[in-house]
Chains A and B, each alone.
Chain A
């Protein structure tokens, strides 16, 4: 698989939903997906699309204060972690991330940059705000394709 980054423009909600469906179809059970990007890039919104793609109508809200939210879906549990208030991979591990991952369909970590160094199997999707910010044009880049 290519390790080159490919940037996908996400001009609207439908494009984000389509990317979420493709992501869910491509990622195996137990996968770890790290979402990066600045404040307001659309990370939490993308997790809502992932939940939809897994068949859950859950109102996905920001887990910044709670740190972890879990959503049951027909395809298995979606674990939504937010490391915004955390520092470092050790803090994430202290949440029981490894254990949660094993039984989850998909574990998504916002602000999870710290995990990338020692999680070679992690998938990394970088979201950004680009283009004309007034129309909230967003984009996503697969930073690294896991070698399996």
Chain B
């Protein structure tokens, strides 16, 4: 099944083409250069940029995949969550393309796309993860933990109570006067530092649940830098990164134990962080990470999610699919979840 996927949920225009679980092309036009001079995003500029770019990015993806528009079996796009104006561009374009090419249209949840990124076939990697598994999505806009008892079913286990992990990276990077976007720059600086020296707090260290909180850590970094203006920035970066990574890995490991899962799927932009990858490799879990290039927002993951959706539920009704609106707020999960098996250790036991 040959599918083209479009993601315009935030700042990047992503278009990918997949055949089954094989990624044929994955083109991402980043707006980082557009927004960097102002250190932020102009929503209208972002929408306009998506609009100006999308034609070219779709053409480039089709060329790289070596396929024609009429070869496609389906066209998919992110319907939410994300920036309303940005979502509308990708969704509207995909609907138009599907209508014109008489190809089925498949609307996709952005987070389901992140999970599907781990299903991509990649030379040298083992077989893709099969549910049941636990899934951690950590990016600039999301930090959330799902239990996936069966394919296509998501139960929310926990998530950030304030800032997303990637957002905390970006904000602490700004405190350290690193250039936008700050996450990768902070990770690079952390490589030169010692994570074991500074008295920064460990977020949510004593909780019994499976939530995250990175806002207090960010405040602690701000206060520490005010009091110690001459502190080694590399040590601050390294300590901050260690606290975030440890929190993510500890909570995910504890949740996996509480829910009786031995496999952890990690998705989202933060999955590209090397310190996180190293900590996960040391965890007592089968860990699946997306292949390089599929961790951050992209179109191929949306196409992969569409393939998975058709495999599970068939091709959606075209009239209904074309009527789907952009949904800036769109929960993926069915709701808060508890360990399902009464015999499974309860969360507070798992914490001990």
Chain A residues at the B interface, C-beta cutoff of 8 Å? 38-42, 44-45, 59, 61-62, 64-70, 84-87, 90-91, 94-95, 129, 133-134, 136
Contacts and interface: CB of A to CB of B under 8 A. Distances in A.
Nearest to B222: A40
Interface in B128-155: 140-141
10 contacts: A39-B171, A62-B163, A62-B215, A65-B166, A66-B141, A86-B40, A86-B41, A87-B39, A91-B40, A94-B44
B348 interface: no
Contact of B42 (A41, A69, A84, A87): A87
Interface of B: 10, 35, 38-44, 81-83, 85, 140-141, 160-164, 166-167, 171, 174-175, 215-216, 218-223, 226-227, 328-329
Contacts of A38: 222
Contacts, number: 88
A39 B222 contact: yes
A136 B164 CA distance: 21
Given A62-B163, A66-B82, A86 B223 contact: no
A77 to B, nearest CB: 12
A61 B40 contact: no
Given A44-B162, A64-B163, A66-B328, A91 B219 contact: no
A129 B40 contact: no
Contacts of B38: 87
B160 A70 contact: no
A140 to B, nearest CB: 15
Contacts of A44: 162-163, 215
Nearest to A82: B167
Secondary structure call for the A interface:
loop
Nearest to A83: B40
Given A41-B219, A87-B38, 20 more contacts: A39-B175, A39-B218, A39-B222, A40-B220, A40-B222, A40-B223, A42-B219, A45-B215, A64-B163, A64-B171, A67-B41, A67-B83, A68-B328, A69-B329, A70-B329, A87-B42, A91-B41, A94-B43, A94-B44, A129-B223
Nearest to B218: A40
A67 B43 contact: yes
Secondary structure call for the B interface:
helix
Contacts of A42: 219
A68 B162 CA distance: 14
B222 A129 contact: yes
Contact of B40 (A39, A45, A85, A94): A85
Given A40-B219, A59-B161, A133-B226, A65 B141 contact: yes
Nearest to A63: B141
A23 to B, nearest CB: 20
A96 to B, nearest CB: 8
A39 B221 CA distance: 10
A111 to B, nearest CB: 9
Contacts of A136: 216, 219
Best-surrounded residue of A69, A70, A94 (most CB of chain B within 10 A): A94
B17 to A, nearest CB: 27
Closest 6 CB pairs of A and B: A40-B219, A65-B141, A133-B223, A94-B44, A85-B40, A87-B38
Best-surrounded residue of B39, B42, B160, B174 (most CB of chain A within 10 A): B42
Contacts of B215: 40, 44-45, 62
Contacts of B163: 44, 61-62, 64
Contacts of B44: 90-91, 94
B167 A64 contact: yes
A86 B43 contact: yes
B41 A45 contact: no
A89 B217 CA distance: 30
